[in-house]
Amino acid sequence: MVSELCAREDLFKSGRCYGVLTGSHDECLEMPEPTDPVRVSTDPACWEFAPGGCGGGEDGGGGAPQGQQIIGSPGFVGKVTKGLGIANRKLANADADCRQLFADIGLAVEDVAATMNATSFVDGTTSQAQIGMLVNQQYANAVGAATVAQLFANSPGLSGWSPPGGTAYLRPSDMSNGLFGLGTNWQLLVHETLHQMLGFQRDDNWIMTELQNKGYRINPNSPRKSRQISDVIKKKCN
Ligand SMILES: [Zn+2]
């Protein structure tokens, strides 16, 4: 996904900003159209540049350079960084139960880890990224929000929103859990990574139904809703 700054810029809307990483996390360069672009996505326009090129081409979700960005307050960045460290350790040490959990939704644990480490995590409550550009205008209309920050403001129970394209948006307060909020919600990072891999069609309900059918104690109609996915990740991959 394009960087935050890039998403706000008229430049990007005009198709002249290609979201090129320049070292610091949200710079957006105006660049001339490449003479020999490798077109990997058309909506929005995105050309493959070194290093990394554009992600999310298959989904038509446009693109950002590969390479993880974590954007938010220092506290948020610290929590996400810590959560990624824990999640990486859990996934690297996955036992049979943990591997089976991902296999049961058609994924390999190594691919989950690799995707998580290529996904950017952004504070959704402050993100001015345009939902119409991240997904499409019909989607923005359907959720009744123009920006990601509005989506989070309108949906108090929303912990994360992870449209295809390489960026997952998180509610910073939900990165902590457990007693006195001391725990780190690493499982939420894995959960949002699953959405990057499965897309909107295979959404929370699909995941929950799939797991329920395979004998997991998950009920798509439970009031805990999609948090059950995070719970089962924590349980099986601990
Ligand atoms: Zn979910």
pTM for this model (two decimals): 0.73
CA distance 215 to 60: 34
% of the chain surpassing 90 pLDDT: 68
Q: What are phi and psi of 132, to 5 degrees?
A: -60, -30
Distance 191 CA to ligand 1 centre (A): 6
Local confidence band at 31 (pLDDT 50, 70, 90 cut-offs) = very low
Q: Give, in order, the Cα–Cα distances in Å from 70 to each of 40, 118, 124.
A: 24, 11, 11
**Averaged pLDDT for residues 49-72:** 53
Structure token digits, residue 6: 């890039």
Long-range contacts of 179-182 (CB under 8 A, 24+ apart): none
Distance 112 CA to ligand 1 centre (A): 14
What's the pLDDT tens digit per position in 73-124? 999 999 999 999 999 999 999 999 999 999 999 999 999 999 999 999 999 9
Structure token digits, residue 84: 């990624």
Distance 73 CA to ligand 1 centre (A): 23
Distance 149 CA to ligand 1 centre (A): 18
What's the pLDDT tens digit per position in 61-83? 344 445 899 999 999 999 999 99
Distance 211 CA to ligand 1 centre (A): 13
Distance 204 CA to ligand 1 centre (A): 5
Q: For the CA atoms of the chain, what is the radius of gyration?
A: 18
Residue 212 above 90 pLDDT?
yes
Distance 226 CA to ligand 1 centre (A): 5
Distance 22 CA to ligand 1 centre (A): 31
Long-range contacts of 90-99 (CB under 8 A, 24+ apart): 90/186, 90/237, 90/238, 91/116, 91/190, 91/237, 94/237, 97/236, 97/237, 98/236, 98/237
Residue 163 gets the label, from left (phi > 0), alpha (psi -120 to 50) or beta, of beta
DSSP state of 217: S
Distance 74 CA to ligand 1 centre (A): 25
* Residue 177 confidence (pLDDT): 79
Distance 124 CA to ligand 1 centre (A): 14
Distance 229 CA to ligand 1 centre (A): 7
